[in-house]
Structure 1
Amino acid sequence: MNRITEILDRNRHPLEPIATELAPQLQELPGIQAVLFDIYGTLLVSGSGDVGTAMEMTKGDALEAAWEACGVTSKMPAEDMVGQFYSVIKGDHKSATKRGTSYPEIVVEEIWQKVFASAIQKQQVTVPDDFDPAIFALEFESRVNPVWPMPGLQEVIGTLQKRGYTLGIISNAQFFTPKIVEYFLGSSLEENGFQPENSFFSYQHRLAKPGKALYQAAAQSLAGAGIDVCHILYVGNDMLNDVQPASQVGMKTALFAGDQRSLRLRKDDARMLPIQPDVTLTRLTDILACLPR
């Protein structure tokens, strides 16, 4: 058993989606050849709604548990290290923005490496010789943002694969995100029809949603396989991060409104344009009724 599997085994617990007030709005979407998904709040029930967002709500208990799991001893209050974590992220974003990146993404293990390097230099913490900031990041994230498969996950992926749809992912993510999906699917993303050339994770590109860059890259990749952007369906739970940029690049869109925790309608967000999804799903399996067999 590898360390990632061991951490997920130890920290996982079932989560059920909380129903929203939205009604499904379904119609058949002819001509779709590829289906791309968001992960947090769409393929996975997310305790916080999205990757990283719960970190702002933790008071440090999750950090102390991660310290213990990784053999870290600290004279530094946990809340102070959490604050340092956000300060480094803010600085990282500021530097990227100055370089012209509108929606930058961090690489979380690099952030923790900087936080610990500073604390070690100040003799505030000690770490074991085999300390790995990536493993620490997962120990922390798995506590502050617990996840669980969205009901119908395996049925939907398996059915779409059997029907011959090209599958892909566009998601704000960290290195552990695809590994978590594989853990719950029980096999690799490729074995489930998600080819690497059609999977776009924000940390790999250092670009985040709601920027359009990941959507444009996905459209370009699929165009190389002979699939025009108008034949791509994107499924996500956030009107700003998912539906709007996907629509802007020419994809069809499905709003997943199956969980109160993660549904983001963004009605009062000034960045929102008058864009509506082509369909609204309240169960993940609703998508199967919208796509021809």
Structure 2
Amino acid sequence: MPEGIFNLKIKAMNQKLLNSSMISIDKAHTSLQNMANSFSSLSVIETNMTPLIYYDPDIKAVLFDIYGTLLISEAGDIGLTALDQGEDRLFTIESLNDKREIRFNRIKSILLERIKAHHECIKNESTWIQYPEVDIISLWDEVFQILDFREYNADILSTTALNFEVFSNKVWLMPGIVPLFEFFRGKSFLLGIVSNAQFYTPLLFEHLLGKSLKELGFEEKFISWSFQVQCGKPDPRIFKNPLIHLNRMGIENHEILYVGNDMLNDVVTASVLGLKTALFAGDRRSLRMREEDTRVMDISPNYIITELNQLKIILEEGLNEE
């Protein structure tokens, strides 16, 4: 777990909630494998953005966002952020002794209300968390209680959360991701992830790629998931642990490139920390320009890419845009 994690203690119905640290990752992987038929390919919807790319010899490390950058998201973001995108279908919830079909809108209403309550609780408990992140397992613990499911454990909640995420927000690999990581193989760039996420985010990513994050070249100390540090972008504190470790290795912030699809969450947040930024504008569903937000008005990305393979031009001398 990353350093300095805020020890959040939310209680509901007079008992401590289950959380993501209590689940079996192996069982979650098995649940994903059993859901293989639920995944289908998605295509990007092109934007009208013009690439801004040129070779930069100073970059030594690359940090990535996930949703809308390395993964196509039908809803444009992680499912919790886009709950209003789902249509009102029936969703099956199963505990150890009960199985029922519940309308999506009913579950969505409960989740949104509990997210708001958790955010308020976190802000009351901490003076430094401006953009709180929830734990999806704790949320589903509350959903099960509210819907009067009584016999369950953390692994049942993780299976339910996985099913609901796939049910409400289809994801697929961004085009060019496989050759991009083949490019990184054998190179000296350090790779990391800073992303708003839940426990299932790295599992979905690994499942779709068929490789672990380690096999892809990511080092755990350069990875920060919002559900673990309990704050999310645009809070710059989500970058804290990867930057600490990179700085200890002699890599300065201006030698780090952050790649993301959101002008506020990604470009502004990384820019204020002194990182170089590449706005990924490859899919209209997830591109967030935030043109009406005053926080982005004086900030521009160092680079704009519309395809992942354009990163190679920024990172290796002598390559030309095809």
> What TM-score, normalized by structure 2, do the two folds share?
0.83
Choose which of 262, 265, 268 in structure 2 pairs with 1:241: 265
- Tell me if the contact between 1:73 and 1:127 (Cα under 8 Å) persists in the aligned partners: no
Q: 1:3 aligns with which of 31, 37, 55?
A: 31
1:209 maps to which residue? 233
Aligned positions of 1:193-232 closer than 5 A: 193-232=217-256
**Distance in 1 (alpha carbons) for counterparts of 2:223 and 2:104:** 35
Deviations 1:197-252 (A, max 9, x none): 00111011111001100123321121112211111000000000000011110111
- In structure 1, C-alpha distance between the alignment counterparts of 2:102 and 2:69, rounded to whole Å: 37
Label 1:72 to 1:29 Cα distance change in 2 as closer, same or farther (>3 A).
Answer: farther
Q: 1:131–1:222: structure 2 CA closer, same or farther, 3 Å change rule?
A: closer
The alpha-carbon distance between structure 1 residues 24 and 72, as it changes in their structure 2 partners (threshold 3 A), is farther
Q: CA deviation at 1:71?
A: 8.4
8 Å Cα contact 2:91-2:102 kept in structure 1: no
Could you list the runs of 5+ residues in structure 1 that have no partner in the other structure? none
Aligned to 1:151, the other structure's residue is in SS state coil
Q: Counterpart of 1:255 in structure 2: which amino acid?
A: L
Q: In structure 1, what is the Cα distance between the partners aligned to 2:270 and 2:154?
A: 42
Match for 1:163 among 174, 184, 187?
187
Mark the CA change 1:132 to 1:225 in structure 2 (over 3 Å): closer, same or farther.
Answer: same
After superposition, the CA RMSD in angstroms is 2.1
Give the Cα–Cα distance (whole angstroms) in 1 for the partners of residues 37 and 138 of structure 2: 24
Find the partner of 1:284 among 288, 292, 308: 308
Equivalent position amino acid for 1:10 in 2:
N
2:54 alignment counterpart: 27
Cα 1:197–1:73 change in 2 (3 A) is: same
2:95 corresponds to 1:65: no
Q: 1:257 to 1:69 in 2, by over 3 A?
A: farther
1:11: Cα distance to partner?
A: 1.3
Gaps of 5+ in 2: 1-28, 318-322
Distance 1:248 1:155 in 2: 31
Between stretches 75-84 and 180-189, larger displacement belongs to 75-84
Instruction: Report how many aligned residue pairs link the two structures.
Output: 286
Tell me the distance in 1 between the aligned counterparts of 2:305 and 2:215. Answer: 26
Question: Percent identity over the alignment?
Answer: 36
2-structure distance, mates of 1:153, 1:75:
37
Match of residue 42 from structure 1: 69
Partner-residue secondary structure (3-state), 1:148:
strand
Counterpart Cα distance in 2 of 1:129 and 1:36: 34
Which SS does the other structure have where 1:182 is aligned? helix
CA-CA distance at 1:72 after TM superposition: 5.2
With the length of structure 1 as denominator, give the TM-score of the two structures: 0.91
**Other structure's SS at 1:266 match:** coil
